């Protein structure tokens, strides 16, 4: 009987439990790394989307500012509207985002929450956040000015 027990091949209960403990620890670590990677990727994607929206708004405002002698921007509502001297209106905002404009020409950031009539230079800060995730924000500072070509 002793000879048959010595020649048995197999795993003991302790070896099986140790293997399961090691594998489950590895799986938990890999799952945590993957979950963090997915969360970081999603946040980076949302940030890039905010940057693109900010660049689009600034590009539209720059084009309008350089094309017209005067116009009015309606900041106090979403969507943001630009009203031209011929009373034509253009919406320059996206309803998926919230926009805040701050006048930075005085050295302090003052919220622009009404309409502003522009014919000259405007220094402003634009803060954009998604409507479904208001704690995520992107801000850009810029100045709209006209080039004098003489």
The model's pLDDT over 61-105, given as tens digits with 9 standing for 90+, comes to 888 888 888 888 887 667 888 888 888 988 888 899 999 888 888
Beta strand 122-130 pairing with 138-144: antiparallel
Helix (H) or strand (E) holding 52: helix 13-67
- Residue 26: per-residue pLDDT: 96
* H-run or E-run covering 112: strand 110-112
- Per-run averaged pLDDT (10 residues), the chain, 150 residues: 62 91 96 94 92 93 86 79 88 90 85 78 89 91 77
pLDDT score, position 6: 64
Q: Global pTM? A: 0.73
């Amino acid at each position: 009987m002793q000879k048959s027990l010595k020649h048995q091949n197999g795993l003991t209960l302790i070896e099986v439990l140790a293997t399961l403990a090691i594998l489950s620890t590895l799986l938990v670590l890999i799952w945590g790394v993957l979950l963090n990677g997915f969360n970081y990727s999603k946040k980076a994607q949302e940030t890039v989307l905010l940057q693109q929206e900010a660049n689009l708004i600034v590009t539209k405002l720059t084009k309008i500012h350089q094309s017209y002698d005067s116009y009015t921007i309606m900041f106090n509502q979403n969507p943001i509207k630009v009203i031209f001297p011929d009373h034509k209106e253009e919406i320059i905002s996206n309803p998926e985002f919230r926009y805040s404009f701050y006048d930075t020409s005085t050295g302090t950031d003052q919220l622009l929450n009404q309409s502003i009539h522009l014919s000259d230079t405007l220094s402003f800060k634009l803060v954009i956040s998604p409507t479904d995730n208001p704690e995520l924000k992107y801000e850009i500072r810029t100045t709209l000015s006209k080039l004098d070509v003489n």
